[in-house]
Amino acid sequence: MANDWKNYSSGDFFDELMSSPGNARQPARKIVSYLKSLSAEDIAARRQAAESTIREMGVSFTVYSEGGNIDRAWPFDIIPRVISNKQWAVAEAGLKQRLRALNLFINDLYHDQKIIKDGIIPEFVLKQSKNYRKECEGITPPFGVWAHICGTDLVRAGDGEFYVLEDNLRVPSGVSYMLENRAITKRVLPELFEQSEIAPVDDYPARLFDTLAALSPRKGKKPVIVVLTPGIYNSAYFEHAYLAQQMGAELVEGSDLVVDSDDCVYMKTISGLERVDVIYRRIDDLFLDPEVFDKKSVLGVAGLMRAWRAGNVALANAPGAGVADDKVVYAYVPQVIKYYLDEDPILPNVETFLCYDDKQREYVLANLDKLVVKPANESGGYGMLVGPHSTKKERETFAGLIKANPRNYVAQPTLALSTAPTLVEKNELEPRHLDLRPFILQGNDIYVTRGGLTRVAMKKGSLVVNSSQGGGSKDTWIVDA
């Protein structure tokens, strides 16, 4: 193991832990020094202990495939990612700024649409938005907040600074894995927690509960909060059950709830109906209410939108919040921040080319082999083209898709994503690319997790970090340095 650290190199990429072979960056010196002191047998034993802990705790995720849904153990690397508290303070301020502006933007879209009338965002971008919900027009949720839980994906490039890759404001997932990563790391590297002051993350469930409770329409009463899940076959079901248990909330499916003639939501219990105040919903908009959206949906609750519109129940995230998930809207977020807050963005976007623009589309089509092309509203790493790793046939297919529906595609440079030392086969140490998903809560105040979910592209050279695409994860440490 010691020799591995001496020879470890990430090449031309910015490495999170190592500044050069054998030399750790200041925030990571304690952990690298400790890991260097462990024998290969020690490392193997701790890695095995982590895998056993994951199986014991039942930490899993579901991969959808043509042959059926497959439950897999959570892929985890025991070497944490380390970020200095000083750098994190800047990221935290930027994340708060971004979500405040995005919630003002969403609220404006469902009311006066001033940002469109003032020419900041083209009207057709909204009219062709897949996630704009006309049914939400005129509604003002508590505090004017639509996206109460946001997962914003950050990356570090060659300069070591954070950039925003995308925002996730519909039903962002992954926070349970952030919490479990910390629990596993404490088990397998307990000595480091005694030696270092690592910012805690385990207050998240309490913070989430407080955010949800503040939305309750029945002030002065203990709120009844439920987590609405599509059921056990959903890929994030582990997280739904985990968060409900951690918050002391009920985990329910659509069939467990009913909207009565008084436009209030009730939960079926063995003692009869109990009124529900807040629903943390993990179901997409179109399945929420068969009265309003998909009439065939058996996942939602008939009348739920009536109850929400009447102010008798709070929904987090609010229906329609996904309008700001659009990757075309993402390109305008710097202008959104300036428009609503009169501030310059603290965290920069990644350079983005909008394919609906003739000149930008011409550039994208001429450089497909160098760019990453993304559909405007897909998630999970699906439907995208990573130009440098693509075939000529794949590029031709994407060129056709872009020409047929240019509004639906954006392109970005292939980023030199930062790396971190990762244990691979035979416990060898190799660099792997990664990103970071912190979670931001907004209700009557705003909170950012100290760190977030670090996702790792476990395949050598890959830039795709999603677990559904073979990615893994690490614990994320914010430390004084």
Q: Which two tokens stand for residue 189?
A: 């590297």
Q: What is the chain's Cα-based Rg?
A: 23
42-64 as b/e: b if 16+ CB within 10 A: ebeebbeebbebbeebebebbee
Q: Are 447 and 214 in contact (CB under 8 A)?
A: no
Tokens of 231: 């059921």
In 3D, which of 24, 50, 27, 157 has the Cα closest to residue 423? 50
CA–CA separation, 236 and 46 (whole Å): 27
d(CA 393, CA 15) in angstroms, rounded, equals 34
Measured CA angle at 422 (ends 419, 426), to 5 deg: 145
Instruction: Let me know: does 210 contact 53? Beta carbons within 8 Å.
Output: no
Determine the Cα–Cα distance for residues 149 and 171; give it in Å rounded to an integer: 8
Alpha helices in 342-440 (DSSP H): 358-366, 392-404
Query: Could you tell me the sign of the dihedral formed by the alpha carbons of 252, 253, 254, 258, in that order?
Result: negative
Local mean pLDDT, 10-residue blocks, the chain (481 residues): 77 92 92 92 91 79 52 81 96 98 98 97 92 95 97 92 94 92 93 89 96 95 96 89 96 97 96 97 96 93 97 97 94 98 97 96 96 84 84 95 95 92 89 95 96 92 72 92 69
Element (H, E) at 298: none
Longest dimension (CA), the chain: 71
| pLDDT in the model for residue 380 | 58
Contact 153, 220 (CB under 8 A): no
Residue 377's pLDDT is 79
Q: Is residue 45 within 8 Å of 463, Cβ to Cβ?
A: no
Domains within the chain, CATH numbers bracketed: 218-312 (3.40.50.11290), 353-413 (3.30.1490.270)
Beta bridge partners of 144: none
| pLDDT at residue 2 in the model | 47
Q: Which amino acid is at 336?
A: V
Total count of residues recorded for the chain: 481
Q: Is the pTM of this model over 0.75?
A: yes
Contact 258, 273 (CB under 8 A): yes
Residue-level pLDDT at 66: 45
Name the amino acid, one letter, at 32. V
Q: At what angle do helices 85-109 and 333-341 cross, to 10 degrees?
A: 80
| Structure tokens given for 340 | 């609503």
Two structure tokens written together for 435? 């990103």
